[in-house]
Amino acid sequence: MGDVLYVIGSGEYECTKVINGKKTFLKTYKAGDLFGELSLMYNAKRAATIKCSKAGTLYALDRVTFIAIVQDSAIKKRKAYERTIDQIEILSEVKDYEKAQLCDALKDERFEANQYIFKEGENGDRLYFVVEGNLVA
């Protein structure tokens, strides 16, 4: 059972899985990568085998700490979204519960200078809130 997520500090780690009775190589993990998050999040058995192929260091993160970090991050993100929504006049009458649902549905999108967000004549399927930067219409 997966109760720990691993972050790679150094070394290399091979990931394999038995598929149709045959051991199959999936990928090599290196410094900065992590593995074990799915078993940790879903309290499930490990879905693959990890073997150290080049000596190194792993950092283990237990479920309780992981959940606390994820929840804290989600709360901070929601509060930042709420501050943005509070500044938008057409949403001023939205109730707190609805505002929280809206915040949970928002996704960050980042754009480079001179990149088009959309062009005249395109079908519209999104509503954008400008959090930082400037746009030209």
Locate the domains of the chain by residue range: 4-64
Cα torsion through 109, 115, 117, 118, rounded to 10: -150
Both tokens assigned to 13: 């780690």
DSSP SS3 for 35: strand
Q: Which amino acid is at 131?
A: V
pLDDT of residue 121: 95
Tokens of 7: 């972050």
Confidence band (pLDDT; 50, 70, 90) for 122? very high
Helix axes of 96-105 and 63-86: crossing angle, nearest 10 degrees: 110
Q: pLDDT per residue over 72-113, tens digit each?
A: 888 888 888 888 888 888 888 888 888 888 888 888 899 999
Rounded CA gap, 78 and 12, in Å? 36
Secondary structure of residue 66 in the 3-state scheme: helix
Is CATH 2.60.120.10 the classification given to domain 4-64?
A: yes
pLDDT at 82: 87
Alpha-carbon Rg for the chain in angstroms? 21
The whole-model pTM stands at: 0.56
pLDDT at 19 over 90: yes
Top-confidence residue, 123 or 129: 123
C-alpha span between 53 and 14 (Å, rounded): 6
